[in-house]
Structure 1
């Protein structure tokens, strides 16, 4: 009986004939198909959520100057924004957000064919973002919301008063934690009149769908094989893994 080493210890795996394996695989396939249909239903409900019109004018700092929220659509009707944890004064962006961000450049090519564009926004000044972005080799649009209310309005940055209270408004609840930045993703829609609407936001485990690495690992015998008490303690910046290339796509 094969043994595999996981974070939970040594585990045994049963070995059967191809015929027995096929019976078990088909049984699992029934559950997978049911899950796929449930996911389709959930996606439909997400698309049918009511919208909130964005009345505030947000202006960000970009590599070529000031950029409005409307500018980020680049002629498309849909915009996805990743709220990247990178606060003012930080030496580096969040390593876990960086893990997610390593997947974005390839996806960005394809979503553009579906009337959708993508941008990353952080509260750190652009002068702090750009050296880190260059080091990571990323090409996606990354803007600074420094000196705007954007991050606070989307509940991914928190005021000193909120932090002092120890109770932060995050993921549609109140959480006891002391941190000034957190991650999330938001979807926006811009109509022909130029009006912009907030259609969806997700936080915490809600952003798992954006991480292709996890989707690959979920297919394997070990799965994600993460420490349940610190699920991403294995994650490093892609240029810090042993034998890593400086190119995130190499």
Structure 2
């Protein structure tokens, strides 16, 4: 534990109240941004995307499961992977127990990946999740949203020196670096109205942090995320912590 300033209870309360003012400002700003997300123009999805599911081949409209809103997490699990990305797996740990609550608010939550659906469902069983997981490997669903990349597009990154964390994650997934970074994580949202499907929101990178609940909690601990200077990523699949 690093050394830190120690003060009195009175000093703590004064500093905490000053911080609380800024936290409330951030909360109100977050509310404003949430409204602006809802106000984004919708884009009608006319492309006939098809997905492999445990029930057979389905359309994007089918994935709503009778609800009017659909939330899709684009999970990094490409065709050559032997296991899902550990970071995406940590996100899925947060998403899974929320699916039932989202359903109560007319939102269907699913994950989509490009690996064969049998491989996805076997990994889902290992992880103990229950959300619906579909295979999109036969179409352009991930590509059209910027969550699938070609080798030509990745060449500058691949020639620039591979971060140790990327090599670590590729190995954990049972593929090489190119196979790993061909996939990208993301979140996309859809609405169904009068028989048509509309894309309403897309995000990636740090826009996914609301689904990484552990970071919000770590941000409130004395050491915070404490990731600076680490050669490897600390995240593991939940059934791998404690293993050598």
Q: Same fold (TM over 0.5)?
A: yes
Q: 1:18 matched to which residue of 2?
A: 9
Q: 1:174 matched to which residue of 2?
A: none
Deviation at 1:228, TM superposition (A): 5.2
Q: 1:71 matched to which residue of 2?
A: 62
TM-score (norm 2): 0.86
Distance 1:189 1:228, change over 3 A: farther
Aligned residue pair count: 223
Q: 1:94 matched to which residue of 2?
A: 85
| Alignment gaps of 5+ in structure 2 | 159-176
TM-score (norm 1): 0.84
Q: 1-side partners of 2:196 and 2:82: how far apart? A: 36
Q: 1-side partners of 2:52 and 2:145: how far apart? A: 18
Q: SS of 1:239's equivalent? A: coil
> Which has the bigger relative contact order, CA under 8 A and spacing at least 6?
2
Structure having the higher helix fraction is: 2
Distance 1:214 1:63, change over 3 A: same
What do you get for the CA RMSD once the two structures are aligned? Answer: 1.9
Q: Superposed, which structure 2 residues align to 1:46-65 within 5 Å? A: 46-65=37-56
Question: Which residue, 102, 108, 116 being the options, matches 1:111?
Answer: 102
Question: Which residue, 115, 119, 122 being the options, matches 1:124?
Answer: 115
- Residues 1:139 and 2:118 are matched in the alignment: no
Q: 1-side partners of 2:209 and 2:82: how far apart? A: 25
| Alignment gaps of 5+ in structure 1 | 5-10, 168-176, 244-250
Superposed CA deviations along residues 83-120 of structure 1, whole A, max 9, x for unmatched, are 00111021111111011111112111111121111000
